[in-house]
Structure 1
């Protein structure tokens, strides 16, 4: 089954000081480049198979993407209202995805520890889901995380004229949602504040810097 990927990177990063968090460099590579590199073996060859949704900081992120190798580069789309909730960014990404994807993987651009093995494990879990399950959310010690995975029918519902958010769809179809319990902390680790970054650097001893 063909998989489409949507990466959400439209936020302003206000709690991090108003910077584009996905351009933070860890061990010499930006968060975005690291994630795109991990996804490269899992994605299809078309840019429409992997969509990066931008909003705030769009110019800076697009400039960075233009410098990346073609084989990992995503299709960039811009949410004209990034100040809205993430539902509008997700909807923009879903509309830009290739029409023939059978399942969608939604990731955040500021997850520093997610790698291809983590994403493949989530895909394997979704493949082995019980009949009737159409959405999977990883749960680590009671905390929801990403990647969230859902099938093509859910994608169509989210971009339909009535345009429910994924949260609304889940609330209306609780029996179709799987809360996938896992011990993997990568799924819930993101970088929202300087304290989050400081904790990550303490734990990993990675070098880091902001571009420029």
Structure 2
């Protein structure tokens, strides 16, 4: 199975003082480089979903996909699915830019759920943005976003029978949403 991956680089973090989360420093490197390092070995192609000036990610060498619809994680997933379809992939794995500690077997474990969508679960918590999406869901996702339904990943995933995949290490899915989260992550071993 040919799997592409998309990093959801959603822009400014409200609780991070409006800074571009992807470019915040963790262990002396932009946060996005940590996610790239975790996902790149696991996918045939890696892309970034982000609006605004794509040149800010030129240092990554990755394609930057703008949202087709109103901004949000599902719009980024749709952009990734469209690029995956065009690129001949069977599926897409999505992950937010503020979750830099992903397990090295993320993609292979998500694939164990079967041919349909799947999402990570760890420590009793669902991580709906860290998910596996068959490319056949591109059109249904576009329809869902156009329907006026509240654009929640969990709602769309549930409509399409997404299965949870349990991971043993909850810290692998830590989200860095606040300066305190970033400080705790900085204290972790690189």
TM-score (norm 2): 0.80
CA positional deviation for 1:3: 0.5
- Alignment partner of 2:4: what SS? strand
Q: Could you say which residue in structure 2 is the equivalent of 1:209?
A: none
- Where structure 2 has 5 or more consecutive residues not aligned to the other structure, the ranges are none
Match of 1:171 among 158, 165, 178: 158
1:97 pairs with 2:84: yes
Find the structure with the greater CA-based Rg. 1
- Alignment partner of 2:118: what SS? strand
Q: Could you say which residue in structure 2 is the equivalent of 1:16?
A: 16
**Conserved in 2, the CA contact under 8 Å of 1:138 and 1:180?**
yes
Q: Could you say which residue in structure 1 is the equivalent of 2:55?
A: 62
Alpha-carbon displacement from aligned partner over 1:132-160 (angstroms, at most 9, x marks no partner): x5111111122112521122222342235
Matched positions, count? 184
CA positional deviation for 1:74: 1.5
- Alignment partner of 1:12: what SS? coil
Distance 1:12-1:80 versus aligned 2 partners, 3 A rule? farther
Tell me the C-alpha RMSD between the 2 structures: 2.7
CA positional deviation for 1:53: 1.1
**Conserved in 1, the CA contact under 8 Å of 2:6 and 2:48?**
yes
CA positional deviation for 1:107: 0.7
**Conserved in 2, the CA contact under 8 Å of 1:10 and 1:79?**
no
Alpha-carbon displacement from aligned partner over 1:9-43 (angstroms, at most 9, x marks no partner): 12321111000111122222211122223333333
Q: How is 1:52-201 mapped onto 2 (pairs within 5 angstroms)?
A: 52-55=48-51, 58-59=52-53, 62-63=55-56, 65-68=57-60, 73-79=61-67, 84-99=71-86, 100-114=88-102, 118-119=103-104, 121-130=105-114, 134-145=116-127, 146-159=129-142, 166-173=153-160, 176-201=161-186
TM-score (norm 1): 0.73
Q: Give the distance between the partners of 2:139 and 2:5, measured in 1 at CA.
A: 15
